[in-house]
Amino acid sequence: MRQNPLAYLDAELTALREQGLFRQLRILDSEQKAHASFDHASVVNLSSNNYLGLTTHPRLRERAEQALRDLGVGSGSVRTIAGTMAIHMELERRLATFKKTEAAVVFQSGFTANAGTVSSILGREDVIVSDELNHASIIDGARLSRATIKVFPHRDVDAARSILKALPASQRKLLITDGVFSMDGDLGPLPGLCDLADEFGCVMMVDDAHASGVFGKNGRGTVDHFGMHGRVDVQVGTLSKAIGALGGYVAGTKSLIEFLYHRARPFLFSTSHPPSVTATCIAALDVLESEPEWMERLWANTRFFKAGLQALGFNTGPSESPITPVITGDGGLAMRLSDRLFAEGVFAQGIAFPTVARDKARVRTIVTATHTQEELQFALDAFARVGRELGIIG
Ligand SMILES: Cc1ncc(COP(=O)(O)O)c(C=O)c1O
């Protein structure tokens, strides 16, 4: 009889179970909303990236429905063959205006935007200088590029400087950071890094996946928040989080975008978005411009909830954004906290190694613009009860 050549995977899964780190996927059986039904349980949802509540916004829904009716369900091709529709170009023009750049290109996801860009604009001879907590898609893009990767300690501009100083002046180099770090919710030190990029002639790249729709005027991101327009060569954003739909984009000069049209592998070799997704994203940009109240509510809720967790005595790390981690250290404890909260009607995902370092496990919370104060207070009360029960707070 044939032996199962994948049997070693079972051993890995058993080890995960023994460590309390095995996760069943939670199934969302309602719309993605601030109060939602997961696994048939009605819960306050603190786990989505739906910052502004746009996944169910009526204007986005209407535009998606209209595009479905007018343009069909799929694009039928990759962008470089027959899959560039007029609506794709319209979204790219809108994103360039939004990000105040010459041009923009849309990818299937934020992941492919990062990985496809880093891997195509750099090669074997080049150096990538990267924050240790940058997103996995940046790391994968860096590996695919075959460039030398030099990692600096989290947010440490001086350490990045030392790395750059040791490189030959003629060396082509990319300096790259997340705008908002997805697990800790802190901000990349853009002013300091942009100064370094100027001093050492680096290509400067920022991944603003968690900042677009959240920071800066009308949600333009951390580049706008820090007043760094014109100093960041490659701005990446996602359409999958605050924008409420799906996709990623790169904004920059016309030459950068034309180069990516020719060389970014996800652009060349994977089918473009259905027109309904693209129409949804255009409608989301309209909402960001004309309904600033969503961002205002997001920030009011963020302040309320963060202050509540801190007053209870939880370790919320260095967060400066709506992402607020509740750090437990131990992975098993993070998962128990998450499970007990769920039983109490609050969904906050436990996150452990390899997504975060082994001793930095946490439950990660994200409030949205559409949570009510009552829902957030309900969640804080549950955190207080369960946190005491598990000995995380006194
Ligand atoms: C910092 C960061 N960059 C990029 C991505 C990828 O974005 P997307 O979900 O659109 O692929 C994510 C999402 O998980 C992220 O957190």
Coil, helix or strand for 27? coil
* Ligand 1 centroid – CA 51 distance (Å): 14
Specify whether 135 is catalytic: no
Single-letter residue type at 159: A
Active site residue 210: yes
- Asked whether 301 and 260 are in contact (CB, 8 A), the reply is no
Model pTM score: 0.96
- DSSP tag of 186: P
Q: How far is CA 253 from each of CA 59, 212, 233, rounded to the nearest angstrom?
A: 31, 19, 7
Provide the CA 356 distance to its chain's centre, in angstroms.
15
Residue among 90, 114, 63 nearest 247 (CA)? 114
The whole-number pLDDT of residue 215 equals 98
Tell me the best of 182, 187, 205, 280 to mutate to test the pocket of ligand 1, counting ligand atoms within 8 Å of each CB and taking the most: 182
- Separation of alpha carbons 164 and 158, rounded Å: 10
Alpha carbon of 44 to those of 346, 373, 393: distances in Å? Answer: 5, 11, 21
**DSSP per-residue letters across 245-296:** S--EEEEE-HHHHHHHHHH-HHHHHSBPPPHHHHHHHHHHHHHHHH-THHHH
- Tell me, what amino acid is at 173? K
Which of 99, 135, 241, 371 is the catalytic position?
Answer: 241
Tokens of 96: 């360039």
Gap between the Cα atoms of 295 and 327, Å rounded: 26
**Residue ranges lining ligand 1, Cβ < 6 Å:** 109-111, 114, 135, 137, 178, 182, 207, 209-210, 238, 240, 248
Q: Cβ(215)–Cβ(180) under 8 Å? A: yes
CB-count exposure of residue 394 (10 Å: 0-12, 13-18, 19+)? exposed
Tens digit of pLDDT at every position of the chain (394 positions): 899 999 999 999 999 889 877 888 999 999 999 999 999 999 999 999 999 999 999 999 999 999 999 999 999 999 999 999 999 999 999 999 999 999 999 999 999 999 999 999 999 999 999 999 999 999 999 999 999 999 999 999 999 999 999 999 999 999 999 999 999 999 999 999 999 999 999 999 999 999 999 999 999 999 999 999 999 999 999 999 999 999 999 999 999 999 999 999 999 999 999 999 999 999 999 999 999 999 999 999 999 999 999 999 999 999 999 999 999 999 999 999 999 999 999 999 999 988 899 899 999 999 999 999 999 999 999 999 999 999 999 8
**Quick one: which atom of ligand 1 is closest to the CA of 137?**
4
Q: Report how far Cα 323 is from the mean position of its chain's Cα atoms.
A: 10
pLDDT at 285: 98
Q: Long-range contacts: 19-26, Cβ < 8 Å, 24+?
A: 19/331, 19/332, 20/331, 20/332, 20/335, 20/336, 21/331, 21/332, 21/335, 21/352, 21/353, 23/335, 23/350, 26/347, 26/349
Q: Give the start-end residues of each E strand in the chain.
A: 35-38, 41-45, 103-107, 127-131, 148-152, 173-178, 203-207, 234-238, 248-252, 323-329, 346-347, 350-351, 361-366
Atom in ligand 1 nearest the alpha carbon of residue 248: 10
Residue 375 C-alpha to ligand 1 middle, in angstroms? 27
SS3 at position 199: helix
Determine which one of 47, 137, 182, 276 is catalytic: 182
Distance from residue 343's CA to the centre of ligand 1 (Å): 28
How far, in Å, CA of 152 to CA of 9, rounded?
33
* Candidate from 176, 240, 355, 364 with most ligand 1 atoms within 8 A of CB, to mutate: 240
Q: Which residue is listed with tokens 């327009």?
A: 229
User: What is d(CA 21, CA 335) in angstroms, rounded to the nearest whole number?
Assistant: 7
Q: Are 378 and 345 in contact (CB under 8 A)?
A: yes
Asked about 241 being catalytic, the answer comes back as yes
